[in-house]
Each structure stands twice: as structure tokens, then as C-alpha cells.
Amino acid sequence: MQIFVKTLTGKTITLELEDGRTLADYNIQKESTLHLVLRLRGGAKKRKKKTYTKPKKIKHKKKKVKLAVLQFYKVDDTGKVQRLRKECPNAECGAGTFMANHFDRHYCGKCGLTYVYNKAGGD
């Protein structure tokens, strides 16, 4: 079987193929001309580099406090250990999760539970 392949430059190449069923499956007949086409990638224009107007946001740096557990407990003169912070009663937090003391509330940082003080008095 003989086919003609037209290349990208415009030249026509004649190819002699053995008899097989691969070209017949695609309905390519004897002495037909095939045009060689390549897939082109891209096509979009190059983007301009963006100029930023505001400076980058400064990330929060975590303040490492050494021996932070000492803030949660106090030892009396008698040797008894007293809790200074309220423990979170929520089941998902578990034991040992303390609530933060704010001027108007207790707040759990793990689950978000908040107890607000009454306006009349303290805790």
C-alpha cells in the first residue's frame, strides 16, 4: 500500500507500507494524501509582573513562655496546691485544658467556650 504524507514544510513524502489492517481501520485508502499536523502548546500572552501597592502583612510571632505551667497553680503556705485558672468543663477539651482569664470573661482557646462575668460583681 502506498500513501503520501504532506509535511509541515510543504514537501510530499511517499511511503510504501506493508499490507495490514491498521490503516484500513481508519478508512485510509490507497494513494491517499495525509497532512502532518503538530499540536501547538500555549498561545496565551506573557503576563506582566504585578506591582504591589501595600507592604506584606507581618505575621504574628508566637511568644514562648518558659515554665508556663507555673501560671496555672499556686502552692499555699501549708503545702496545698491551688488552681489559679478555671478548667474547661467541655468534654472535647478533656482534663488539663485551662480557660484564659480576661478582664470580663473566662475563655477556652481550644473549643471557644466563654463565660462572661456579671456587670454587678466579679466572678
The number of domains in the chain is: 2
| Residue 97: inside a domain | yes
* Distance in Å from the first CA to the final CA of the chain: 98
What does pTM read for this prediction?
Answer: 0.43
Residue-number span of the structural domain to which 14 is assigned: 2-35
Place of cell 502532518: 36
Which residues, listed in sequence order, are joined to residue 114 by a DSSP beta bridge? 107
Taking only the tens of pLDDT, the chain with its 123 residues reads 677 777 777 788 777 766 665 666 667 777 777 666 776 777 778 889 989 899 999 999 999 989 988 888 899 999 999 988 889 999 898 888 899 999 999 999 999 999 998 876 555
| Residue 92: inside a domain | yes
Check if the beta carbon of residue 88 is closer than 8 Å to that of residue 97. Answer: yes
User: How deeply is 88 buried, as exposed, middle or buried, from its count of CB atoms within 10 A (0-12, 13-18, 19+)?
Assistant: buried
Question: Per the structure block, which three cell numbers stand in for 44?
Answer: 496565551
| Residue 46: inside a domain | no
| Residue 80: inside a domain | no
| Residue 40: inside a domain | no
Which residues, listed in sequence order, are joined to residue 4 by a DSSP beta bridge? 14, 33
User: How deeply is 87 buried, as exposed, middle or buried, from its count of CB atoms within 10 A (0-12, 13-18, 19+)?
Assistant: middle
